[in-house]
Structure 1
């Protein structure tokens, strides 16, 4: 049995899901696969040649966890609690071509693949839907270890294509099927500064929302118009005001992006659509760069080079402070990829891809 699952990029709503705001994400044509078969004992043997690692344990030895992020065991335990049973072990080889630790959800794709593989190879397969596999992976990777994290990565990699995800007041996932052209993913090869970025973008913004609501109880990050933000200028520092404006504008950019992507389903993609879409991505990027400060000088050089080579827009992807950016380049992908590499990045030409699937 061979299962593969894609990585993902966040098109709109970066650094907004933890505020309860929606996101739009796209699965990409870089994937992680698990190829395995039964053993004649209860052992789980996992070969990870890309990382030079091997993991081995018994199906009877899945708790307590050996390390903090013991995702292979935690996924088995989540499935067991759902009534899934395993009378035979497995031997698997895991391969992937998703950039690791760079904001493209390689770990979530791995756990979705593992959950999908385990369900199909169990004694009593439930044949979980893609959405359910995303929920299982989130439980195994986030909830089981009490870690912060939204559902975007797991739903996006499991369901595939383009999804719109709301988390407040209840989780709502909507699959979009826009006709999108080619992207170029650019890995800066710089380590991400996830904790530093979160300190500003999440905890800093949560403080801003508290201050504004104390001043104006009717304020809502979901509905307060952009024009009203100026009313709070006296209550906030210049830096706090910068965060507030960026988040309200990014909220509105996402809504405009959703309308555009929805309209494209029933009409052929054209130059006008591509230009509008690329412009929205870049508008979002400027807020991330200038106000949320998630970019780096190297990523800025990569972005500028991509735009000069014919990209229509793009943004930094993931938590930031390093990691990946991407550019929308429906007609100039090769030129954009080359330009990114000249600035010291590693480039990958990608398209929107399907979700987790059986390969063989």
Structure 2
């Protein structure tokens, strides 16, 4: 028996960090995915392998521990937590393939978590809905990171371009932004849990200063929602730039991210900002006319990829 599921990465347009405090946000699924295949193990061990990430580990799902044969352990924690919650601890083999850069702010952990749970539920014939899957995946991320937003797992589950309301209700846009986007990412990975904690500490230390900043980010997301519905690309870019200034004030920027942000604008991007938690990882640039010029400029120092929004969310074996 073999079960397969895949889920997309995501990019946040508006709402990083503020969404943790129930402010609205806008994010979209991208055409980069994680695929998880689960089958019975050929021996008495539960094994996790990924050629794309060059790692292999033996997992103990009862003790929620692992023995790493080679590779870096980061993403294993999400898979292991999911297995500890929903697997019956029989030996299985888990194969992970992924074309989302790890730690780049493109929701690799959420995509892996959603795909793992969907494949696991299929393997055990456990019924689920998209709503329950997104919630279960969010609980995994919450356990691993300590603090987390439901936005990543919602987007990876549902796909498309989504507005998340203050009540955490996902609302799909009926239209997409008809433009090219460039993702720039560094070799310095961000740590979502650490960055979320740092912002919380800053908020606790200076509530009269930081609370209005977080609230303003919510206002920006609402303005951006109206602009997207009107297909006002120029305004979306302008709001991205304003949002970046607020992210700067939260201390989540780095010199590498800042370099990419300003190189993108200098070479024609209408807007550019951090996407994800910051501290490393990625920026997103709105490039309706000259994405190749922006990519060339950023590639002198860092890495880029061109993305498109994807309507597809989680897919199981029958739909892949």
**TM-score with structure 2 setting the length:** 0.84
Match of 2:82 in 1: 75
| Cα distance change of structure 1 residues 44 and 302 upon mapping to structure 2, 3 Å threshold | same
Q: Deviations over 1:280-326 (max 9, x none)?
A: 1111112212x223222222221222122221112112221221111
Match of 1:176 in 2: 173
Segments of structure 2 that go 5 or more residues without pairing to the other structure are 67-73
The structural deviation recorded for 1:157 is: 1.4
1:286 and 1:293 map into 2 onto residues whose CA distance is 10
Kept in 2, the 8 Å contact 1:78–1:136? The answer is no
Segments of structure 1 that go 5 or more residues without pairing to the other structure are 213-239
Q: Cα RMSD (Å) of the superposition?
A: 2.7
1:1-360 matches, cutoff 5 A: 1-39=3-41, 43-57=45-59, 62-66=61-65, 70-79=77-86, 90-122=92-124, 124-126=125-127, 128-143=128-143, 147-166=146-165, 168=167, 171-180=168-177, 181-192=179-190, 197-198=195-196, 201-209=199-207, 212=208, 240=209, 243-261=210-228, 263-264=229-230, 269=231, 273-289=232-248, 291-342=249-300, 344-353=301-310, 354-358=312-316, 360=320
| Cα distance change of structure 1 residues 199 and 150 upon mapping to structure 2, 3 Å threshold | closer
Rg larger in 1 or in 2?
A: 1
How many positions carry a matched residue from both structures?
Answer: 306
1:10 and 1:294 map into 2 onto residues whose CA distance is 15
Match of 1:219 in 2: none
2:153 and 2:267 map into 1 onto residues whose CA distance is 33
**TM-score with structure 1 setting the length:** 0.76
